[in-house]
Amino acid sequence: MTKYCAAFLAVFFSFTAHAAPGDEKNLKGRLGIGFTNQIATTADSTIPALSAKYYLSKGMAVSLGTGFDTRNPSTLALGAKLYQNLFLESNLIFYAGGGLAYVNRSGSRFQGSLFLGAEFFLPQVPSLGLSFETGVRGDSTSGNFEIRTIGDSFLTAGMHFYF
């Protein structure tokens, strides 16, 4: 498993964002506020979260998200993600990333994730980003480490409005 994580990180940091000059999406310095279902999961569902995503540069972004449910059993999820843009087009950003989340529902645990995803923008609404991701997530439930695949469609995965 360590070899696979090291290989993913090597690829993650070796790519540079590219497209035709002047044609690519550039969100450097912009903050997006919205939601995501990609921060954490429980055994029976995803945890919808409020999310903030900030582009540190043309090629890299970070996000923070928090989701909660006060019904019994109560749920809390706090997560952070790092994104490296791999390919940019005028209305599409293809990226790879990694994340870490703390989940408290019937016990506390941490979840780590490695993923590939895309965020696309409608030409008529260029500040609204719709995203989807796929990858793997590891979970430290009750001392055991479990790995599973993840995938969300753009209809349920995430949305950010960029200021």
**Model confidence over 113-163: pLDDT tens digits?**
999 999 999 999 999 999 999 999 998 766 678 888 888 766 667 899 999
Residues 6+ apart with CB under 8 A from 14: none
The helices-and-strands tally (H runs, E runs) of the chain is 1, 9
Residues 6+ apart with CB under 8 A from 134: 115, 116, 117, 149, 150, 151, 152
CA 29/CA 73 separation, integer angstroms: 39
| Type and span of the H or E element at 14 | helix 2-14
For residue 3, give the amino acid letter: K
Q: Considering only CA atoms, which of 146, 71, 157 is closest in space to residue 117?
A: 157
pLDDT given at position 76: 92
Question: Can the peptide bond before residue 73 be classed as cis, meaning omega within 30 degrees of 0?
Answer: yes
pLDDT given at position 38: 82
Asked if pLDDT for residue 14 goes beyond 50, the answer is no
Cβ atoms 37, 46 nearer than 8 A: yes
Q: Could you tell me which residues are beta bridge partners of residue 10? A: none
Asked if pLDDT for residue 7 goes beyond 60, the answer is no
Q: pTM for the complete prediction?
A: 0.81
pLDDT given at position 134: 92
Give residue limits of the domains in the chain: 2-162
Asked if pLDDT for residue 106 goes beyond 70, the answer is yes
CA 156/CA 11 separation, integer angstroms: 28
pLDDT given at position 67: 93
Among 5-9, 28-32, 79-83, 86-90, where is mean pLDDT lowest?
Answer: 5-9
More confident residue, 31 or 149: 31
CA 157/CA 18 separation, integer angstroms: 25
CA 105/CA 144 separation, integer angstroms: 16
CATH assignment of 2-162? 2.40.160
Cβ atoms 34, 160 nearer than 8 A: yes
pLDDT given at position 155: 65
State the average pLDDT for the chain. Answer: 84
DSSP 105: S
Asked if pLDDT for residue 27 goes beyond 60, the answer is yes
pLDDT band at 57 (very low <50, low <70, confident <90, very high): very high
